[in-house]
Amino acid sequence: MRVSPLAIACSAAFLWFLFPSSATLNTGLSDGNQTAVVPKNHPAQQSPAKTPAASVKPGTDYRNRDIIEKETALNLKEQELKRISGNIDARMKELDEVRRSAESTISAKRQVDKEKYKKMIKLYKALRPEEAARLMDKLDEELALEMLNQMDTKTAAKLIPLLNEKRVLKWTRLSLLNE
């Protein structure tokens, strides 16, 4: 990844702003041909032997630049990660809203289906037992057994003798094993 000189300069200026007393940063940005401008009454002006620049060996300006460049690149990567993290958070919220909407839709659909199912059970209960049994024998086995489960005991008792014997025995087995 290549870091632009503008980004490096901005980062260096930012670091200089944060740490104005650091003589290393002040002199590290120059090529060594220029002297750093140190404000009056600055600790570096009073005792140059105590400043980090005094203990820095010649040729370390390049190391300082490398460190600054790496810090700048790291800062840029951190900013990019924060931006990506923000995008992910926004996407997660959006997906959560979609999930809630889907759950709401499914719940409404189940309620409608349940109402239809109750209505159909009520209709079969209103039929004569012979007619209801004849129609239930033509239904899918799972559906017919589920309808028997939903009917009250009195209605089911009227239908059982009229239904297909295999279906009734299967329904009985399933009812006893599932309870």
Q: Give the 3-state secondary structure of 110-134.
A: HHHHHHHHHHHHHHHHHCCHHHHHH
Same domain, 25 and 85: yes
> Is the entire prediction scored with pTM above 0.75?
no
In sequence order, which residues have a C-beta less than 8 Å from that of residue 35 and are 6 or more positions away? Answer: 27
Same domain, 25 and 78: yes
Same domain, 73 and 151: no
Side-chain-side CA neighbours of 66 within 13 Å: the count stands at 5
Neighbours of 126 (CB within 10 A): 10
Whether 89 is in a domain gets the answer yes
Same domain, 88 and 148: no
Rounded CA separation 143/152 (Å): 16
Whether 103 is in a domain gets the answer no
State pLDDT tens for residues 53-110. Answer: 445 455 567 888 889 999 999 999 999 999 999 999 999 999 999 999 999 999 999 9
Domain range for residue 63?
5-98
* Of 83, 98, 113, the domain-final residue: 98
Same domain, 134 and 65: no
Same domain, 75 and 15: yes
State pLDDT tens for residues 155-178. Answer: 989 999 999 888 889 888 888 887
What total of structural domains would you count in the chain? 2
Same domain, 36 and 76: yes
Whether 77 is in a domain gets the answer yes
